[in-house]
Structure 1
């Protein structure tokens, strides 16, 4: 079974499974297709976090989040006249990590040759694919900026100077050549694994790194409205390697929920579930006012802990206290009948919470499309990230969330056909922050895939795009399936909502002390009750929040299922 945010990625991955490949082969094939068909949502210059379970056991985190370059320091950004990391431009680029992570997954757990896995992406890059409505809209929004400031992006995404329309065939010949050269790098490499390893080395030390570094260091317009040069160098590329890490997990109502560590947003979901475990079922139902209120207030507490404590420089052992039942019980007791308007991190012995400067009116970016192209606090859709889930007949399971390197994040690198990411915008130019900008340190990412386990075996992979909303929407899904008895498709289709009372992860950071965004399918009685409790609710289109997908497997019978998001008419699930 395969489910993803784009039908062509699902089709490619499912084709691999039908032809005898395993879940890891399939996920890599689908991941590279996502670079082509959702270029406004992810790219080769971005990052990726995945959870994998070989044979359905022993889950681990596949870490494809590159760190800040050696030259990216608070002092350097201050010297550039910046008060925060820009949301667009190469100065905000972390070391690209997605491609190395995908290739490492193929090398270590796949069975197919690189040339066969990349065949799908190569085809769409060379022959073209029909541009989606959202991608066309993003190019249209960025068109003037491309023409005035990012000429290489105009050349790539506006053929003959014209903004493409939905359904137009879009090609990416430079990236097709990148894929061919990666394959060629390992042509005489001996074993399958050796050939893939040589492709990884070519990516990190060869023409890709050389082209990216040379282009990033040319002065260009950033979202600050000023021109800067990037700081990536060859050493940054060469020194980065994807890796495997131990995940964090808790047990909730008989299901083990598995997430990435505290350098990511992932434990927010675990914290929220740990707090909600102290309430009865009525307060866990998102369709009721008591349930929605309790969920929203829980998320505020978990997100405040995220902003106060999470980061690559923090101690995972100390932060594990955030998941302990005693701590969760204390946090549950802080939830009152009315909406809180306070930023309320908890207290952890030995750790000092960071209090970010919060403003409800950060202003608009001077470059359209800056920041993660996700759902804005107001509910306006700017795009998302990507996601793909795969499970095979052997029980191998993958949940992967690739993002960054969007076509609107920085200028297209002409020889490569893609842009660098801007993940450093999630860091703070404040040394007291646990997610401060520090050379060699990973920015705290919002990318947050999920695995579910029962009795030691993987039973589901799921995730969604959405920046700060990723774990919020997944929480609603889990409450509806684990507690409410919904099937996966029903849970994905059900009305979604999220809180905006958090320190926005992306530039320009936003904070709305009692803000809630809800689809208009929520019951009017529920809306009225929540407003009486003090929640400030913004109503958006009934099918606009969340892009969840999932695959499921029963370890006892081997039967499988999948579900995908109908919003946007783009997500797709398939299987046999």
Structure 2
């Protein structure tokens, strides 16, 4: 079974499974397809954290497809340009593109099929076309003037014949198809072919094109000025995908697996630990929506305050303490009857937390009704969103992947390649001494957060969602409904959703809404009014507008299951 945020990716993954491939093969094929058909949400030059489960021996793992900051990307380099935040768009936000390498690594280590087989559908859609989704057309329209005036390489790809492509129109990207085909080689073993493609990308013609574009062509970014970039061929050549252990927590009799604290994944585990300390099972079973939403939002604020104070690639993260029952109980005692003010990070092991100074005075965000996700402005002030795919095969192997970055609206297309670079460096702070401060060769603290839920017998699901800072918020009510409330996957995904906008944004310009709570109207007028009475700044959006979860896995009785999000009428789950 395959579930993803786009029906074509789900269909491609299922095609691979039916042809005899395993879950890892199918995930790679679906991932490459997503990089073509959702260019406003991800690209082959983006980022892709992946969590996998190998059924034969119960091995769980993380493939880290998050690229690192360039060697020249120092705090002083940005400060010398008069910047106090890394721009959200353009050359200066670029990190090493990790998605392509992550898919290759997953295929080489755990897949069975040749690269040409899993890449063929993506090449076909790029060469012959696919129906452009409405959101992509709308995004292109929003930044069309910027493309025409400032990013001509993007205009060449996304404004065919000088016009914005309409929703549903057949859209092609022949330059991307050419790039994919150049990366394929014949002869040798399957592993040798994959390695040859990796070298061509990170040490060959792709790296050379990136270097030339970044170093010689100044482009306008969200600072309103034109800059060349800092990413060079040597940065790509020196980067390698890493395979790492997951970070896990026991909850409701199962084990929830996430990435480590170079990303935000552990905030889901912290929230679950605190909710467990609060006795959340009683709230779920009592069907007390008001008390449940309030408790979840207040716990979210505490967990994300810890994210700001303690998470980062270059930090000494006290993760064992942050996930301990004693710390969770201590933090849970801060949850009161009314909405808390400010950011309240904890002091694990007695250490003194430190927050970025900008967080003390950040203006309230102008929220975008119906999303609660990163959006885009005509000037490209904000990034795009994200994709997700979950796969389970006949043997019980599972994959959860959250590809993102390389958005068409946040970075100009690299000449001749047909795709853009990731702008994840905007998640670094240009203030020294913080866990997520910019440093050459380190990973930005990404919001990308795939997940895996396992029972002791190996059954369970791969799950996740797009949504930036909301990814590890929307999954909380989903898991509570499924694990504690006994709801099926589809029922848990379909239920009314909410999130906190009090959480500091990870994307430029790094704003938030104090005591903000964004909720679907289906929560009910009475509940929403009662939440406002408790001090939450409630923003009500449409009934089906928050969250884009999907999941796929194995039930305890051995039945395969999957579900996809109905919001937007684009996600799709398929299986047999």
TM-score, normalised with respect to structure 2: 0.95
CA contact (8 A) 1:140 1:163 kept: yes
Shift of 1:485: 1.3
1:337–1:375 Cα change, 3 Å: farther
Q: Which moved more, 1:356-365 or 1:19-28?
A: 356-365
1:374–1:490 Cα change, 3 Å: farther
Could you report, residue by residue, the CA deviation over 1:371-429 in whole angstroms, capped at 9, with x for unpaired residues?
984599xxxx9852000000001111000000000001111112100111100001100
Q: How does 1:308-323 map to 2 (within 5 A)?
A: 308-316=309-317, 318-323=318-323
1:439–1:3 Cα change, 3 Å: same
1:428–1:145 Cα change, 3 Å: same
What does residue 47 of structure 2 align with? 47
Q: How does 1:242-391 map to 2 (within 5 A)?
A: 242-280=241-279, 281-284=281-284, 288-316=289-317, 318-349=318-349, 351-356=351-356, 357-358=358-359, 359-361=361-363, 373-374=374-375, 384-391=385-392
What does residue 368 of structure 1 align with? none
For 1:282 and 1:372, the matched residues in 2 are separated by 31
For 1:511 and 1:176, the matched residues in 2 are separated by 40
Shift of 1:363: 7.5
1:374–1:486 Cα change, 3 Å: farther
Could you report, residue by residue, the CA deviation over 1:309-354 in whole angstroms, capped at 9, with x for unpaired residues?
00001224x2221000000000111110010012100012263312
1:294–1:284 Cα change, 3 Å: farther
- Three-state SS of the structure 2 residue aligned to 1:235 is helix
Could you report, residue by residue, the CA deviation over 1:531-571 in whole angstroms, capped at 9, with x for unpaired residues?
111000011111111000000203x5431010000011100
For 2:210 and 2:39, the matched residues in 1 are separated by 17
Shift of 1:283: 3.3
CA contact (8 A) 2:501 2:517 kept: yes
For 2:210 and 2:542, the matched residues in 1 are separated by 39
CA contact (8 A) 1:13 1:27 kept: yes
- Shift >4 Å, 4+ stretches: 284-287, 362-365
Could you report, residue by residue, the CA deviation over 1:65-102 in whole angstroms, capped at 9, with x for unpaired residues?
01101011100000111110000001101100000010
Uncovered stretches (5+) of structure 2, i.e. residues with no partner: none
For 2:111 and 2:476, the matched residues in 1 are separated by 31
For 2:366 and 2:338, the matched residues in 1 are separated by 31
Uncovered stretches (5+) of structure 1, i.e. residues with no partner: 366-370
CA contact (8 A) 1:222 1:228 kept: yes
What does residue 211 of structure 1 align with? 209
1:363–1:451 Cα change, 3 Å: closer
Shift of 1:244: 0.7
TM-score, normalised with respect to structure 1: 0.95
CA contact (8 A) 2:384 2:409 kept: no
- Three-state SS of the structure 2 residue aligned to 1:216 is helix
CA contact (8 A) 1:132 1:166 kept: yes
For 1:321 and 1:527, the matched residues in 2 are separated by 35
Q: Which moved more, 1:279-288 or 1:132-141?
A: 279-288
What does residue 4 of structure 2 align with? 4
What does residue 395 of structure 1 align with? 396
What does residue 435 of structure 2 align with? 434
1:419–1:464 Cα change, 3 Å: same
